[in-house]
Amino acid sequence: MLSEGYIYDVLREGLRIGVLISAPVLVAALVTGVSIGLFQALTSIQEMTLTFVPKLVAMLSVFWASMNFMTQSLIDFFQTIIVPSIAGG
């Protein structure tokens, strides 16, 4: 029987992994959004596609570049924590 503390530790580690693998995409969106917002404020251009398209391109490129890291983090989490818990080890 798994203890309550162990379940909380697994949950905390799962949340940490979730934040870790989502951080690169979120940081790219934040930096791009602030940069485009600053550019729009300086030039008084209020075009909606000017914010959407560069942010989408930045997020997709960072996602594509960090897919290996994300996949490896999830595989390590499942192989070291989840699978042994299910197997009873």
Structural domain includes residue 89: no
Residue 89 in this model has a pLDDT that exceeds 90: no
Structural domain includes residue 67: yes
Structural domain includes residue 87: no
Compute the mean pLDDT over every residue in the chain, rounded to the nearest whole number. Answer: 92
Structural domain includes residue 28: yes
Handedness of CA 67, 70, 72, 75 (dihedral sign): negative
CB-based burial, 3-35: b 16+ in 10 Å, e otherwise:
eeeeeeeeeeeeeebeeebeebbeebeeebeee
Split into its structural domains, the chain has a count of 1
- Within 10 A of 77 (CB to CB), how many other CB atoms are there? 19
* Residue for token pair 């398209």: 53
**Confidence grade of residue 49 (pLDDT, cut at 50, 70, 90):** confident
Q: Which structural domain range is residue 60 located in?
A: 4-81
Residue among 53, 56, 59 nearest 22 (CA): 59
Structural domain includes residue 86: no
Structural domain includes residue 21: yes
CA distance 52 to 83: 40
